[in-house]
Amino acid sequence: MATTISNPPYNMKWQHPFFAQSQERFMLGVPPESNANYAFILTALSKQDKAVFLLPNGVLSTNNKEEQAIKASLVEKNYLEAVISLPDKMFESTSIPTSLLIFNKKKQTSNILMINASSLATEEIREQRGQVGSKSHTSRVYKKKVNVLSDDAISKVMSLLDKPVNERGLSKVVSIETIKEQDYVLTPNRYIEMKQETVQHTSMERLVKQLNRVSAEKGAVKLTINRKMANDLGLMPLIKLLQESGQTSKELNEQFKGDGLILNDENLVTLTNNKTFKIEVKKWNELPDIIVMFAQMWKQLMVTCNNEENRYLMELRDIMLERYFK
């Protein structure tokens, strides 16, 4: 049986073709123009009986009305064979958590296998060289932590796909009726029985160390932004959360007096009424990922604009030459 395997662009905008409702691939519904995730799925299933997609976890519990209807139809028609949730930080370019969705229009059972592969992940440190900037940056080696699935972990997942069984904390064979009762949410952990473990708290010293490590990552870049701009960009809820986090750290520092423990409570965002949008790099020993990504995007834009500018300049030069040498 031929199988389509795809890792399409995530959450990409697209345009409905004319008479989309009449196309065979959209018989289960037309995905919204704001997101093409389900358009890729439906297109593949219109051509193949089996398809495997690597997609962001948003497809599993979408709130979009059109996507919800399509997801319900895929379940009800018994096209979905398995959902495998993967650990976050698997990719070097993004930390977004993803899942594998396996579709089979000719499956031999009416159940759906849910697998939590995140529980099988191990951490690996990979080295990268800077791609932009001065020689001191491009020759520097950066270390990045990523989550990986070992060969043994992959073999375990494959064995579950061959012979689906229930394993606490790892897998669950779920009926379509059960998924329907859960409003067609496809997140594996919604159904998998988690292992019962005795909670052993980390020492306060280690927790404070870890909290300050995360705080340092958050504070690698400080933002000063116009209040209205922040509101128009939809940043105010996040800024409020960051401010509340800082306030919590200050309150805990008051309680820690005498214990020798200090949490970082530095302000990460400054709101201003001035027409200001300023990004300040606070971490120089290792350039923050967001600055590296910005530099790469800026470089690409500048190259494109420069090429276009050169084309116009050459055309202008030709016009001037014709004017002065007639």
Confidence label for 72 from pLDDT (cuts 50, 70 and 90): very high
In a domain, 309, yes or no: no
Q: 208 and 186, same structural domain?
A: no
The gap between the terminal CA atoms of the chain, to the nearest Å, is 70
Q: Which pLDDT belongs to residue 47?
A: 92
Q: Which domain holds residue 144?
A: 3-190
Q: Which pLDDT belongs to residue 116?
A: 95
Q: Which pLDDT belongs to residue 305?
A: 85
In a domain, 301, yes or no: no
Q: 146 and 122, same structural domain?
A: yes
Domain end marker among 129, 159, 190:
190
Q: 153 and 214, same structural domain?
A: no
pLDDT surpassing 60 at residue 310: yes
Q: Which pLDDT belongs to residue 322?
A: 79
Confidence label for 26 from pLDDT (cuts 50, 70 and 90): very high
Q: 250 and 166, same structural domain?
A: no
Q: 224 and 154, same structural domain?
A: no
| Dist. CA 166–CA 173, nearest whole Å | 6
Give me the mean pLDDT over the 48-70 stretch.
Answer: 93
Q: Which pLDDT belongs to residue 134?
A: 62
In a domain, 248, yes or no: yes
pLDDT surpassing 80 at residue 82: yes
Least confident of 8-22, 44-58, 133-147, 185-199: 133-147
139 φ, ψ (degrees, to nearest 5):
-90, -5
Q: 167 and 141, same structural domain?
A: yes
In a domain, 318, yes or no: no
Q: 254 and 164, same structural domain?
A: no
pLDDT surpassing 60 at residue 277: yes
Tens digit of each residue's pLDDT (9 = 90 or more) over 208-264: 888 888 888 888 888 899 999 989 889 888 888 888 888 888 888 888 777 788 888
Q: 87 and 9, same structural domain?
A: yes
Give me the mean pLDDT over the 39-46 stretch.
Answer: 95
Q: Which pLDDT belongs to residue 130?
A: 60
Q: Which pLDDT belongs to residue 136?
A: 59
Instruction: List Cα–Cα distances, 1 to 47, 49, 100, 109, 148, in angstroms.
Output: 12, 7, 19, 17, 29
Q: Counting Cβ atoms within 10 Å, is residue 253 exposed (0-12), middle (13-18) or buried (19+)?
A: middle
Q: 111 and 237, same structural domain?
A: no
Domain end marker among 161, 190, 219:
190
Q: Which pLDDT belongs to residue 73?
A: 95
In a domain, 229, yes or no: yes
Name the percent of the chain lying above pLDDT 90: 44
In a domain, 161, yes or no: yes
In a domain, 299, yes or no: no
Confidence label for 63 from pLDDT (cuts 50, 70 and 90): confident
Question: Which of helix, strand or coil describes residue 255?
Answer: helix
Tens digit of each residue's pLDDT (9 = 90 or more) over 158-168: 999 999 999 99
pLDDT surpassing 80 at residue 198: no
| Among 80, 98, 102, residue whose Cα is nearest residue 90 | 98
Total tally of structural domains belonging to the chain = 2
Q: 219 and 183, same structural domain?
A: no
Q: Which pLDDT belongs to residue 137?
A: 58
The CATH number for 10's domain is: 3.40.50.150
pLDDT surpassing 90 at residue 194: no
Average pLDDT of every residue of the chain? 87
In a domain, 146, yes or no: yes
Give me the mean pLDDT over the 32-38 stretch.
Answer: 94
Q: Tokens for 10?
A: 């995530």
Q: 136 and 52, same structural domain?
A: yes
